[in-house]
Amino acid sequence: AQSVSQHNHHVILSEAASLELGCNYSYGGTVNLFWYVQYPGQHLQLLLKYFSGDPLVKGIKGFEAEFIKSKFSFNLRKPSVQWSDTAEYFCAVNAAGNQFYFGTGTSLTVIP
Amino acid sequence: GAGVSQSPSNKVTEKGKDVELRCDPISGHTALYWYRQSLGQGLEFLIYFQGNSAPDKSGLPSDRFSAERTGGSVSTLTIQRTQQEDSAVYLCASSLAGTSGAYEQYFGPGTRLTVT
C-alpha cells in the first residue's frame, strides 16, 4: 500500500524563522503531489501542487515545495514564517488512480 | 460561490445505531470524495464518485459503510451499527474531475461523529 510520511508532527517557530516540513512517500511510479493547509476553524485548502515539469513549485502565501524524485520527497518550505501561518499542514499523494493518500499532518505554531 | 457543505456538523450517536452523513458538493463538480480523519491520523480515503461511473469503494473499512450519490450531486455516507472506533471527522471533497488528481479538491467543514 502507498504511504505518506510527515516526520514533523509539531513544529514551533518564531516569526521570521525559515520553515521546512518534510514529506516522503512510497510509490515508484508517476505521482501527483499536494500540500494542503488547514487554518484554525477553517476547511482544508490547497497550498500548492506538483504534476510535472519544474520540480520547484510555488504556492500561495509565499510557500514553495521541491519534488526530489530520487528521494521520494516533496518538502514544503517558506523563507520567513508569519504568525498567520499557524495551521495544520498535510502532504498528499495521488498515484495511478483516484485515491489520494494523506500524511498525518504537521501542526505549525508560529510565535509572534 | 457556495463551497462544499456537510451536515450535520456534529453527530453523537449510541453504539449500534445507524447514521447518515450528507455532503453537498460544489455545483458542477463531477468528482466527490469521502475521507475519514481520526485523532492524530491523516485523512483516510473512503470512497470516490466520478460522474455516472461506478464508485471506487476500495477505501471503505467494512461492509457497515456505504455511500451513494444521487443525480450526480448530493452524496450520503451511511454507517450501520456504529462502533466506537467509527468516531472521527468525516470529510467530503469535490472537484471538477477526478482523473489522476488533475483538479484541486475542495473540502467541506466535516462532520464530527462521536459514538458513545
Which residues, listed in sequence order, are joined to residue B22 by a DSSP beta bridge? Answer: B7, B76
**pLDDT for B50:** 87
Q: Which chain A residues are Cβ-neighbours of B108 within 8 angstroms?
A: 43
Higher per-residue pLDDT: A43 or B99:
A43
Which residues, listed in sequence order, are joined to residue B111 by a DSSP beta bridge? Answer: B90
Sign of CA dihedral A43, A44, A46, A48: positive
Pairing status of strand B111-115 against strand B88-95: antiparallel
Closest alpha carbon within chain A to B109: A43
Q: Is the pLDDT at A11 greater than 60, yes or no?
A: yes
**pLDDT for B96:** 83
The tens digit of pLDDT for each residue in B4-63 reads: 999 999 999 999 999 999 999 999 898 999 999 987 778 899 999 988 888 989 899 999
- Give the number of beta-carbon pairs within 8 Å between A and B: 59
Question: CB of A3 within 8 A of CB of A101?
Answer: yes
Q: Is the pLDDT at B1 greater than 60, yes or no?
A: no
Q: Record the cell numbers describing residue B43, joined without a space.
A: 485523512
E-assigned strands of A1-112?
3-5, 10-14, 19-21, 24-26, 32-38, 44-50, 56-58, 64-68, 73-78, 87-94, 100-102, 106-111
Residue in A90, A92, A65 with CA at minimum distance from that of residue A2: A92
**pLDDT for A99:** 75
Residue contact A102–B43, C-beta within 8 A: yes
The tens digit of pLDDT for each residue in A53-87 reads: 999 999 999 999 999 999 999 999 999 999 999 99
Question: CB of B103 within 8 A of CB of A51?
Answer: no
Query: How far away is chain B from the Cα of A36, in angstroms, using its nearest Cα?
Result: 10
Q: Say yes or no: A97 contacts chain B, CB-CB below 8 A.
A: yes
Q: Which chain A residues are Cβ-neighbours of B5 within 8 angstroms?
A: none
**pLDDT for B89:** 95
Question: CB of B41 within 8 A of CB of A104?
Answer: yes
**pLDDT for B2:** 80
Residue contact A99–B105, C-beta within 8 A: no
**pLDDT for A8:** 87
Candidate from B43, B98, B110 with C-beta closest to A98: B98
Candidate from B42, B59, B110 with C-beta closest to A99: B59
Q: Record the cell numbers describing residue A80, joined without a space.
A: 520567513
